[in-house]
Amino acid sequence: DVKVTQSSRYLVKRTGEKVFLECVQDMDHENMFWYRQDPGLGLRLIYFSYDVKMKEKGDIPEGYSVSREKKERFSLILESASTNQTSMYLCASTFEGAVDEQYFGPGTRLTVT
């Protein structure tokens, strides 16, 4: 079974802190994605990556950056956390092009106070 894991299930940070959310997949998937999920808005794509050291902006990249130094790991970075970044963050991965189903991690619920 494909397994996508995220470093934390719950995280509480203060405004202005630097936050790292890590995602690891064990199926040698080329593509990895970071979404945030907010009530009534569904999932919105923040960043995605099709290969190591490669990244593409999604729909809402502002305030976020990413890092993909190894194929299995995709990190989401909040340089200076703000309260409007309180959300559920979901990581996903797929093979090759994003044609196939996405495999999701369990999510990280981040609260910024």
- List contacts with another protein (CB under 8 A): 4, 33, 35, 40-45, 48, 56, 58, 88, 90, 92, 97-107, 109
Q: Are 7 and 105 in contact (CB under 8 A)?
A: no
Residue 17 vs 30, nearer CB to another protein: 30
Least distance from another protein to the Cβ atom of residue 54, Å: 13
Which residues share a beta bridge with 89? 36, 108
Residue 2 vs 17, nearer CB to another protein: 2
Rounded to the nearest angstrom, the gap between the alpha carbon of residue 30 and the centroid of all alpha carbons in its chain is: 15
Least distance from another protein to the Cβ atom of residue 69, Å: 22
Rounded to the nearest angstrom, the gap between the alpha carbon of residue 81 and the centroid of all alpha carbons in its chain is: 15
Residue 40 vs 84, nearer CB to another protein: 40
Distance in angstroms (rounded) separating the CA atoms of residues 8 and 1:
21
Least distance from another protein to the Cβ atom of residue 50, Å: 9
Residue 15 vs 107, nearer CB to another protein: 107
Instruction: Give the helix, strand, coil percentages of the chain, each rounded to 5.
Output: 5, 50, 45
